[in-house]
Amino acid sequence: MNKQHIIEEIIRTAKENNAMPLGKRKFENETGIKETDWFGKYWARWGDTIKEAGFSPNKLRTAYDEEWLIEQFVLLVKEIKKFPSKGDLRLKSRNAKDFPGDTTFDRLGTTTKRANKILNYCEGKSDYQDVAEICRNYIASFIKKTSVQSEDTENEIGYVYLMKSGNYYKLGRSRNVARRNYEIGIKLPEKFEIIHKIKTDDPGGIEAYWHNRFKDKRKQGEWFDLSSNDIKAFKRRKFM
């Protein structure tokens, strides 16, 4: 394996990829040229290899538009009818020449952030409602799993939270605020956000304290019409 052959293969595969050089792993899959064939022998890093072949190293980072990446991800979800794992992405990349390498999707964030991005992209698109539902189930499953882990390690600790939707505030309690936020958020038409949470070993008692303190401002159930001073008072507490 000589240097010139590697350069020629970089140029050839780039031409077949809309003049964009392939990533290191994708290049290995396409050509059989392994990292050990060039690393420390001809170049110290993949960017240097790309540069000597006549391409800008930063093309590796800008080769794929984020929306295009999301679209590719969505199409794979529709194909395999589940949220893709790293192995699913890698397998697809090996079998489809125009599909990005699995590490390219790291640009979309962690798996949960990625799922939320895909969900936001699919909302309102009738053709992608199946993908949206898969993403919702994936996020809910992840939240449930982390909640169980949290409750196992911190069995007696919970939170009293303050959340806002529209002009009103919800004051409640939960052992996992992120899960509760998701469960409530999917039922409401307006944006839902966590304002503050108080960590406590007595969630029921602390919740009752704040409900009583704001009883004159209760609208319905756990919903309150609070002032800025009320919010400041609640946010001053970190633990009770």
DSSP state, 150? H
Helix axes 24-31, 86-95, angle to 10 degrees: 50
Q: Where are the alpha helices (DSSP H) in 159-217?
A: 177-185, 203-213
* Of residues 130, 153, 44, the one with CA closest to residue 83: 130
CA-CA distance, 65 to 83, in Å (whole number)? 21
CA-CA distance, 134 to 146, in Å (whole number)? 18
Q: How confident is the prediction along the chain (240 residues), in pLDDT tens digits per residue?
A: 899 999 999 999 888 877 788 888 788 888 999 989 998 889 988 888 888 988 875 544 444 578 888 888 999 999 999 999 988 998 998 888 778 888 888 888 888 888 888 988 888 888 899 999 998 888 888 776 655 555 444 446 788 888 888 888 888 888 765 555 545 444 444 566 788 988 888 888 888 889 888 989 998 778 899 999 999 999 988 876
* Of residues 172, 178, 164, the one with CA closest to residue 211: 172
pTM here is 0.42
